[in-house]
């Protein structure tokens, strides 16, 4: 068997697929890419058993067959080549030989039949969404998902599809993000929890894509198909917490402020906060917002005053500055609104502007108790 392929074209595809491969695998075969050759089409797959991703490339070949080639070795080799055609010759003695313009390289391959087969989805439902919309939905929510192995349902992003809209939710019990698109809908109601790793891969590939992505899903797996790529992953099993119940509905105190100014102020003041709690204090009275932090152990403290637009009673509330910073970083609005009811109830952060038609973002951050 042999085939000819462009070095940079192959490298570009393999670098995307390489994101699937774990640094330490229980099955040695998973350290390989599966090359499946069918005349002028080469399908390359990578898997970690939970997630399998494959891309189809155009090559010159009149062979058929499949082999598993060591991923790390192949990637390291391809990175060093300038653009040129490479000829891969697969010998019967378990050696694959790569010929470039200046040399030849031999590496051992494994039998392609040992590579785990991707799951076939039985009786799936299907929805199509623009790639850049999906990438935005992922990047707006994924940072809020948890890392707690004891609560696996919170370690993913909750996809909620209905005939009116698509909603994406992530929470780690301290912060929550709900992202809704009313300009996209599904043909039927469905809910599932997507793990972080495949979402991170999708976000990277689709960020600047104008391709449509078809999402097929059933109770246990989801499949994302776009351009020449297919990603199949196992869903997180379990029931997602009722997030609507934690979003406070009555929030009479509303603060509107320039996002960048607020973000920079929080970042600066938080340098002086306690290194374990990262607590900052917001004190709002009239049109003035006072942001302060103190680390009693080291006698460090900081305080800044900003002007804002505020309707409501004078109040003081404490937040973990890291959560606020993450949220403000993930909004691209000029102004943001922070709605609050009481110092012990969650604050709701929403962008005032900068959203597309039919796009809604609600971010919720739990307060921290202030030491008076």
pLDDT tens-digit readout, 29-48: 999 999 999 999 999 999 99
Range of the structural domain that residue 78 is part of: 2-114
- State which of 74, 89, 114 marks the end of a domain: 114
Rounded to 5°, angle at Cα 53 from 176 and 129: 55
User: Does residue 120 form part of some domain?
Assistant: no
So what's the pLDDT on residue 311?
96
- State which of 87, 114, 141 marks the end of a domain: 114
Per mean pLDDT, which range of 16-20, 81-85, 146-150, 162-166 is the poorest? Answer: 146-150
Are residue 192 and residue 254 in the same domain, yes or no? no
* Residue-wise pLDDT tens digits, 60-118: 999 999 999 999 999 999 999 999 999 999 999 999 999 999 999 999 999 999 999 99
pLDDT tier at 207, thresholds 50, 70, 90: confident
Domain count, the chain: 3
Q: State the Cα–Cα distance between residues 235 and 244, nearest whole angstrom.
A: 22
Average pLDDT over residues 240-245: 95
Whether residue 208 is predicted with pLDDT greater than 80 in this model: the reply is: no
Rounded to 5°, angle at Cα 108 from 105 and 111: 135
Are residue 251 and residue 363 in the same domain, yes or no? yes
Q: How many helices (H) and strands (E) does the chain have?
A: 6, 27
Are residue 21 and residue 93 in the same domain, yes or no? yes
Segment (H or E) for 36: strand 32-38
* Residue-wise pLDDT tens digits, 253-291: 999 999 999 999 999 999 999 999 999 999 999 999 999
pTM exceeds 0.95 for this model: no
So what's the pLDDT on residue 371?
73
Are residue 233 and residue 273 in the same domain, yes or no? no
């Amino acid at each position: 068997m042999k085939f000819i392929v462009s070095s940079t074209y192959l490298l570009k595809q393999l670098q995307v697929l390489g994101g699937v491969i774990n640094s330490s695998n229980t099955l040695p075969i998973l350290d390989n890419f599966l090359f499946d050759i069918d005349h002028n089409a080469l399908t390359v797959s990578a898997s970690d058993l939970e997630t399998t991703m494959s891309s189809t490339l155009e090559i010159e070949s009149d062979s058929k067959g499949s082999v598993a080639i060591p991923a790390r070795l192949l990637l390291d080799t391809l990175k060093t080549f300038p653009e040129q055609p490479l000829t891969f010759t697969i010998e019967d003695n378990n050696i694959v030989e790569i010929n470039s313009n200046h040399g030849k390289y031999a590496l051992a391959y494994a039998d392609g039949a040992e590579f785990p087969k991707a799951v076939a989805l039985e009786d799936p439902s299907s929805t199509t969404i623009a790639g850049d919309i999906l990438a935005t939905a992922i990047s707006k929510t994924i940072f809020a998902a948890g890392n707690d192995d004891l609560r696996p349902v919170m370690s993913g992003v909750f996809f909620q599809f209905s005939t009116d809209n698509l909603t994406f939710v992530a929470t780690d019990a301290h912060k929550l993000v709900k992202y809704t698109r009313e300009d996209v809908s599904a043909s039927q109601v469905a809910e599932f929890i997507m793990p972080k790793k495949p979402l991170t891969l999708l976000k990277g590939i689709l960020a600047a894509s104008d391709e449509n992505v078809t999402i097929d899903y059933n109770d246990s797996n989801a499949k994302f198909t776009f351009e020449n790529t297919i990603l199949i992953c196992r869903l997180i099993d379990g029931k997602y917490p009722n997030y609507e119940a934690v979003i406070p509905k009555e929030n009479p105190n509303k603060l509107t402020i320039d996002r960048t100014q607020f973000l920079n102020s929080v970042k600066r003041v938080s340098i002086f906060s306690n290194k374990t709690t990262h607590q900052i204090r917001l004190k709002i009275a009239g049109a003035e917002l006072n942001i302060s932090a103190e680390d009693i152990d080291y006698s460090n403290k900081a305080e800044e005053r900003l002007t804002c637009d505020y309707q409501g009673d004078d109040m003081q509330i404490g937040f973990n500055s890291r959560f606020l910073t993450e949220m403000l970083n993930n909004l691209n609005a000029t102004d943001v609104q922070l709605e609050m009811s009481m110092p012990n109830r969650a604050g709701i952060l929403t962008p005032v502007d900068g959203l597309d038609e039919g796009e809604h973002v609600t971010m919720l951050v739990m307060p921290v108790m202030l030491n008076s």
